[in-house]
Structure 1
Amino acid sequence: MARKIDQFNLDEVFRHLRTNIEFSQVDETVKVINVLSTFPNEGKSTVSTNLARIFADKYQNVLLIDCDLRNPTDHKMYKVSNAEGLTNLLTEYVAGQSVFSYPQVVSLQFKNGSRLFFLPAGSRVPNPTEILSSKKFGQFLQQARKEFDYVIIDCAPISRVSDGVPISNMCDGTIYVISAKETDKRAARSAIEDLNRNGAHVIGTVLTKVENTGSHKYGYGYGYGYGYGEE
């Protein structure tokens, strides 16, 4: 079951989530992880960016990719340009070439000394699904797998488009974000079942916008849990 917390303990929650991901690797490696939600505004991008940041606190090479090509927001959180990014990189990508050699991959330095590599979505394209299910994108992820300790991918909400399905099939695991305030339980359960049917490996859920139980006010917090469907 998800654990309710307040907004001041976000880092601790994401450290727990990081630990759960690390310990989920008993039988197989989980290092390329995508983050999905049912609808927009459920906290998916906040989860992606915070999870990547917490992984970067511990590991030297962590890459965050904004694969929400229709409505990218991660670059705004980091205050970097989205003029060049994934879509631009893929037009010139050569299989086997180092990810570090592409200028679209930005190195972000945090005050605590940790470093996170970030690849924005890039220029808008008319065919996001085709790009994200392409052989070239798959080759890029395979190269990133070799060069990074962890790769975190922020995907478009699954209720709007099918971009998250092919990405999930290329990843080792999927984190599903559920908002305590907005998410329809039946819609989320249906989406997760659809992902599983299509070969995705849903390794856990993150509950966002949890009510602050310490007061009557509505707080913006996170809980985490593995498995979905508990009442």
Structure 2
Amino acid sequence: MCSSFVYRRNGAGNMIIAMNYDNPSLNVRMATRAPDLFMMKANGGMGYRPSCAFTDDGTFINMQLCDSNKRGRYRPTSDTSICSAHFTIRVANKRILPADMTDFLSHVEMTNNPRGNVHNMVADVDGNIWVVEPGRGFYYSPMGDTPYVVMTNFSLIDYWETGVRRNMGAARYDTASNMLDAADDLTVQQAFDILQALAQEGKGFNTDVSMVYSSKEKAVYYCMYRDFKNIQRYSFQSMVDEAG
């Protein structure tokens, strides 16, 4: 069960976005060759679909398991509804832009995927955040609303509305929140320290990919299988330079 956070205390130009992908035994691929898109894909039996993506214009989207409220059941994507997997793909491919996000989510019903209950977090280059949960709707958090947003596996919308949360990732949520509260100027390394503290192993879900995006550097740092001493770097600017 995954964990992620968007840290925006120091403004949009110095945001840190981080995610642990905790794998229940799916095949995983990293897509790092495109100059405008960094993606982590997982195959849950229906082909490789993005579970996390960063674009060259500073947009982030992910998809994590979420506790069910018995609503938002899967329906094929249509003009009036869209499943979370298709939503993730369209945002990653810039078919849905942040400028249109609130309007889009206000007019389309989000549904779960065929094989699981999930929620999405979207962040744009200006530090605005949307949390999208099938059967619950969406919550828009503009830049300046909070210094950060953490997402694990309980419903954030239910928690923000009622103060009550289920125990699905609550301990990881608290750990991340406490460490982010203590950080005045979060660095990439400190973000990895948080991801390492949240990493899981041997509990049915193993942390297979850890990713940190720096808006200041326009780069994604990542490591595989909890090997936090072997961090790789993907730079959007370097990819553009190489392509040119």
Interval containing the TM-score (normalised by the shorter chain) = 0.3 to 0.5
TM-score, with length taken from structure 2: 0.33
Larger strand proportion, structure 1 or 2?
Answer: 2
Kindly indicate whether structure 1 or structure 2 has the higher relative contact order, using CA contacts under 8 Å at least 6 residues apart: 1
Larger helix proportion, structure 1 or 2?
Answer: 1
